[in-house]
Amino acid sequence: MKKFLIFTFILAILVVAIPTQAQIPADKQYIVQQAAFSIALAVMDEADSTPNHYERLMLARRVLSSPGSSGQVIAQIAEAKLWIVIEWETVSPNVIRTNMEGVWDALALATYGPAPTRPE
Domain chopping of the chain, boundaries:
2-112
HSE, side-chain direction, 13 A CA sphere, residue 66: 2
Spans of the chain, pLDDT less than 50: 16-22
Q: Which long-range contacts (CB under 8 A, 24 or more apart) does 57-62 make?
A: 58/108, 58/111, 58/112, 59/104, 59/107, 59/108, 59/111, 59/112, 62/111
What per-residue confidence (pLDDT) applies to 20? 42
What per-residue confidence (pLDDT) applies to 19? 47
What per-residue confidence (pLDDT) applies to 41? 95
What per-residue confidence (pLDDT) applies to 89? 80
Q: Of the candidates 1, 116, 10, which has an alpha carbon nearest to the alpha carbon of residue 73?
A: 10
